[in-house]
A and B are shown apart, each in its own frame.
Chain A
Amino acid sequence: MLDQTNTALVRVRDLQMHFPIYSGLLRRQTGAVKAVDSVSFDVMQGETLGLVGESGCGKSTCGRAILRLYDITGGEVTIDGTDIGQMSQSDLRTKRPTMQMVFQDPQASLNPRMTVEAIIREPLDEHTKLSAAEKEAKVGELMDAVGLNRRFAKRYPHAFSGGQRQRIGIARALALNPKFIVCDEPIAALDVSIQAQVVNLLEDLQEKYGLTYLFISHDLSMVRHIATRIAVMYLGKIVELAPRAELYSDPLHPYTKALLSAVPEPDPAIAQTRERIVLQGDVPSPANPPKGCNFCTRCPAVMPVCKDIEPTYQEVTPGRFVACHLFETTGTAEKTAGYI
């Protein structure tokens, strides 16, 4: 996991995903929900980038937009050297094997009318010309790799537990030897005891196949366990991106601080001394975000400038990115620095 070669497998630049709002008699577009608004980041070869944030902040939309499950509003997405941002869906089909996805709800993401074998074979049917026997062998291998008993190949998804179903979903994602996998809250629908198993499986597979993950989650403890670097999202924007250790020990953005203070502390002695930051108010609507900084309506450290000017997302110390006026350097030189 740590053998990073420091090359970016995935480059996301100014990604925008706006969903139009139509209203009135003529169904004219009257606005847009800015689910993802100018998000930029890189995912390095072999790393796990954690993407965290509260419900509705746009993290899942971001993951799906990167894989072009939506037609994105703007921005660039480069995966393995190819810009797929504006590629047509038919051209995209040939690129699909490189990038795969593990879904949140394994029950919903598996076709209930297909056997496990057929589900895992689906990508092979679509993209390879293997013979039936080769496909069967490959399905068997994949089932072994994710820890499913081959004897269950002819069963239907409803006969499995949540954790096993997620393993089926992972096997399907692995079938085409992808380089990049978006894990969209892969453990959120599972029991706590099963969560660890699935996360460990994902880690083992990463090591074995040299995978790169974008790990979307709202579970900060789990992200801390699996991620190399972590990006924090709030209302469609990334507010902070930092290596795991730095982010947890010294969060910079006020939102990150508040978010981390909400993580339950198992040690009561430490819990007593800890200061819990409780944010006031609700998240503004992404259809009508506030002027200036998106967080200015709830920020404990709000300044007059925050309500006027949107902070720039910039590198404050090497490897650490923050979008906050508290850390804004006076010069404009840094603003043009590359994102890492």
Chain B
Amino acid sequence: MTAATTNTRAVPESAWTRLRRRKMAMFGLALVILIVGAAILAPWIAPYDPFEQKFDGLTMFGEPLPPGGAYVLGTDLLGRDLLSRLLYGARTSLIIGVVANGIALVIGTVIGLTAGFFQGWIGAILMRFTDLMMAFPALLLAICLAAIFQPSLWIVAFVIAMVNWVQTARVIYTETSALAARDFIAAERTLGASTPRILFKHILPHLVPMIIVWGTLGISTTVLLEATLSYLGVGVQPPTPSWGNIIFENQTYFQSAPWLVFFPGAAIVVLALAFNLVGDALRDVLDPTLRGSD
């Protein structure tokens, strides 16, 4: 054996190449692109103004119009076009589902990782604080926070992040403390590896699957939390549409106008599903122990 024989395996395929082979992941990615595209292009593709109460948007008896006809998905209680409102609402919901959820993930991961790795008094303080946040009614806290700050989309996103990081922190904490006790971490310590190196090179990569799963699960949770806040008057302010507040505005009329709840509900499900498909595939593709099994 000579040094020349070192590199005999083909160049490993990139994660993207392996991701591209997964049909479901590609389907999910297409959905994500579709939703993001729709949100960005809303002013150009929306058939009507989402805020305008159309003169012909209600029946003679003042009832909303069912899907079909000039208003493809029907109109809402005030005679506004539902499709246009959904397209504009995608902007709000994406910002909440991606940004708020992303901030919550980062906070949860940092706190869980720190507490799980260092344990001791740092861990005790951080986790007691997390428990406190968990025990405190999230909605009440969100209402308090939203009442203190002027409600705007970004403040709502921040408020949602503040109440949504706790579960992630708990899960990451448990996983980190289990990982920190594993032998390969002890091996790193005997090698004299620095703490940042152990944390970021050896523990964090093992947490990625969990972070991805919690991230995708968090999308529907945060979108619905925003809807709850809107309903209570401290979320995104009407008339700005969001998928969540469309549902809440109309839920009492579910029996007579089911489409007003069905379409935004379906949109939330599709958004969560799309991210879930992509996240799931990413988790598999990034795990070297599963390589070759697809």
Q: Which residues of A contact B (CB under 8 A)?
A: 64, 67, 69, 92-97, 99-101, 103-105, 108-113, 115, 122-123, 126-127, 136-137, 140, 144, 149-151, 153-154, 156, 158, 169, 172, 176
Inter-subunit contact B1/A144 (CB<8 Å): yes
Inter-subunit contact B183/A113 (CB<8 Å): no
CA distance A64 to B189 in the complex (A): 11
Inter-subunit contact B188/A64 (CB<8 Å): no
Please classify how large the interface on chain B is, using the bins under 10, 10 to 19, 20 to 34, 35 or more.
20 to 34
Inter-subunit contact B183/A96 (CB<8 Å): no
CA distance A122 to B202 in the complex (A): 11
Inter-subunit contact A101/B6 (CB<8 Å): no
CA distance A104 to B183 in the complex (A): 9
CA distance A149 to B1 in the complex (A): 8
> Which residues on A sit within 8 Å (CB–CB) of B194?
93, 126
> Which residues on B sit within 8 Å (CB–CB) of A115?
288
CA distance A96 to B217 in the complex (A): 43
Q: Which of B182, B190, B193 contacts A101 (CB 8 A)?
A: B190
Inter-subunit contact B6/A150 (CB<8 Å): yes
Per DSSP, chain A at the interface is: helix
Q: Give the shortest distance, in Å, between B127 (CB) and chain A (any CB).
A: 14
Q: A108-B184, A140-B3, A150-B1 are in contact. Are A113 and B288 (CB under 8 A)?
A: yes
Q: Which residues of B contact A (CB under 8 A)?
A: 1, 3, 5-9, 12, 182-184, 186-194, 197, 202, 205-206, 287-289, 291
Inter-subunit contact A69/B189 (CB<8 Å): yes
The chain B residue with its CB closest to the CB of A64 is B186
> Which residues on B sit within 8 Å (CB–CB) of A105?
183
> Which residues on A sit within 8 Å (CB–CB) of B197?
126
> Which residues on B sit within 8 Å (CB–CB) of A122?
188, 191, 193
CA distance A149 to B2 in the complex (A): 10
> Which residues on A sit within 8 Å (CB–CB) of B193?
122, 126
Q: Once A and B bind, how many residue pairs between them come within 8 Å at the CB atom?
A: 83
> Which residues on B sit within 8 Å (CB–CB) of A103?
183, 186-187
A selection of 9 A-B contacts at a CB cut-off of 8 Å is: A92-B192, A93-B194, A96-B191, A100-B191, A101-B186, A104-B183, A112-B288, A122-B188, A150-B3
Inter-subunit contact A109/B183 (CB<8 Å): yes
* 5 closest Cβ pairs, A-B complex: A96-B192, A109-B183, A108-B183, A93-B192, A123-B191
Inter-subunit contact A112/B5 (CB<8 Å): no
The chain B residue with its CB closest to the CB of A118 is B201
14 new A-B pairs (CB below 8 Å) besides A103-B187, A144-B1?
Answer: A69-B189, A94-B192, A97-B192, A100-B191, A112-B289, A113-B205, A113-B287, A113-B289, A126-B191, A126-B193, A127-B192, A156-B289, A158-B289, A172-B187
Inter-subunit contact B183/A136 (CB<8 Å): no
Inter-subunit contact B187/A109 (CB<8 Å): yes
Inter-subunit contact A110/B3 (CB<8 Å): no
Inter-subunit contact A111/B192 (CB<8 Å): no
CA distance A92 to B288 in the complex (A): 33
CA distance A92 to B291 in the complex (A): 38
Q: Give the shortest distance, in Å, between A243 (CB) and chain B (any CB).
A: 29
CA distance A245 to B291 in the complex (A): 51
Q: Give the shortest distance, in Å, between B169 (CB) and chain A (any CB).
A: 22
> Which residues on A sit within 8 Å (CB–CB) of B289?
112-113, 156, 158
The chain A residue with its CB closest to the CB of B286 is A113
